[in-house]
């Protein structure tokens, strides 16, 4: 058992608290295994009615996965240990998604990457004024995995495509407006809500729905029409052209917004932007979450060892120079053949499988 997750029972509630504050509770393989083992045990424990998922201290709920570990794998073991991490992390994501007992995830703080993968499967997803939600993977040559294809493709209004490509951050009110969160509460109320859930785990919906004040306005709502217009295509070049055209012909005061988003996309990996668009388009047609995770594991297995991932992590996280040299360097250089190879099935004995 790892010290990085606090796992215990409070009455009839199983309680999982991420406890790696110096890393903003980013997930390690040991943490994934510990959470998975607890969930398996509680699934068959009649004394456990519901699960609370939160973080022990600090300003992050969960900032993602162990990026340094993954980069080290890409550079030094051909991606073997990195693929193992993805495989087992995705098993946890799927276990949470299919879990038969209600889970309440308190997204009180930074909720990104791997944190999204454990929060969004929960039946109840509680945001606060501290919530900062993002899937920023295209900025480091990765893609919105951990089930991101499933969740983002189902947001509507092309919001998912916008979030996947730009890595835009949403606050708690925006998470509620988009449907990423099911509830919004002031952070000062969280301890009281947890205590009431522990006292009456059969009444979670009622407890979270009692009046807690009006959330702030969702800023993203003001840009919803722009997002739906400019991110309408599954063709990356068409999205870029739409933004460029707005800048050149602006008559509605949209040029500033379009220029900002164009410039943001200019910092992202062209390869993984195209991967993300195909991922979301494919996932939207799927009816089985396990099928989605199988697809994302195929992508992860390939993208992990392609040049952009190690280079993106170097530029953004290790050296902090923010000057990644992408390969291919332009969207036009990312061919359909390259994308086909990234999405292709793996050998049967290497395909992702849910927990037995």
The catalytic site residues sit at 65, 114, 137, 145
> Contacts for 262-265 with beta carbons within 8 Å, 24 or more apart?
264/166, 264/167, 264/168, 265/165, 265/166, 265/239, 265/240
Tokens linked to 122: 């929960």
Give the list of residues 6+ apart from residue 244 with CB closer than 8 angstroms, or none: 258, 262
- Distance in angstroms between the alpha carbons of the first and the last residue of the chain: 21
Q: What whole-number distance in Å separates Cα of residue 170 and Cα of residue 188? A: 20
Query: Which DSSP symbol is given to 314?
Result: I
Q: How many CA atoms lie within 13 A of 301 on its CB side?
A: 21
Tokens linked to 296: 């994302």
- 184, 215 Cβ separation under 8 angstroms: yes
Q: How many CA atoms lie within 13 A of 267 on its CB side?
A: 18
CB atoms closer than 10 angstroms to residue 51: 25
- 49, 101 Cβ separation under 8 angstroms: yes
Q: What whole-number distance in Å separates Cα of residue 18 and Cα of residue 26? A: 9
Q: Of 100, 101, 138, 95, which Cα lies nearest the Cα of 117? A: 95
């Amino acid at each position: 058992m790892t010290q990085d997750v606090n796992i215990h029972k409070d009455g009839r509630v199983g309680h999982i608290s991420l406890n790696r504050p110096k890393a903003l509770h980013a997930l390690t393989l040991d943490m994934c295994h510990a959470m998975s083992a607890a969930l398996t045990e509680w699934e068959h424990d009649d004394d456990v009615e519901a699960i609370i998922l939160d973080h022990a201290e600090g300003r992050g709920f969960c900032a993602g996965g162990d990026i340094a570990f993954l980069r080290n794998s890409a550079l030094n073991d051909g991606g073997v240990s990195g693929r193992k991490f993805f495989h087992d992390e995705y098993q946890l994501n799927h276990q949470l998604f299919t879990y038969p007992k209600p889970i309440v995830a308190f997204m009180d703080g930074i909720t990104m990457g791997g944190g999204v993968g454990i929060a969004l499967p929960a039946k109840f997803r509680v945001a606060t004024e501290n919530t900062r939600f993002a899937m920023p993977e295209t900025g480091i040559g990765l893609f919105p995995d951990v089930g991101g294809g499933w969740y983002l493709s189902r947001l509507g209004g092309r919001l998912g495509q916008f979030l996947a490509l730009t890595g835009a951050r949403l606050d708690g009110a925006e998470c509620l407006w988009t449907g990423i969160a099911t509830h919004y509460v002031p952070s000062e109320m969280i301890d009281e809500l947890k205590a009431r859930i522990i006292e009456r785990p059969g009444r979670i919906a009622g407890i979270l729905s009692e009046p807690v004040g009006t959330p702030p306005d969702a800023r993203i709502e003001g840009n919803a029409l722009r997002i739906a217009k400019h991110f309408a295509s599954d063709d990356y070049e068409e999205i870029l052209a739409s933004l460029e055209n707005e800048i050149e012909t602006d008559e509605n005061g949209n040029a500033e917004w379009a220029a900002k988003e164009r410039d943001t996309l200019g910092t992202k990996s062209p390869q993984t932007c195209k991967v993300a668009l195909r991922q979301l388009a494919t996932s939207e047609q799927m009816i089985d979450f396990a099928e989605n995770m199988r697809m994302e594991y195929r992508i992860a297995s390939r993208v992990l060892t392609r040049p952009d991932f190690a280079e993106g992590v170097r530029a953004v996280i290790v050296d902090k120079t923010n000057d990644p040299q992408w390969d291919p360097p332009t969207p036009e250089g990312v061919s359909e053949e390259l994308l086909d190879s990234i999405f292709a099935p793996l050998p049967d004995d290497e395909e992702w499988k849910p927990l037995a």
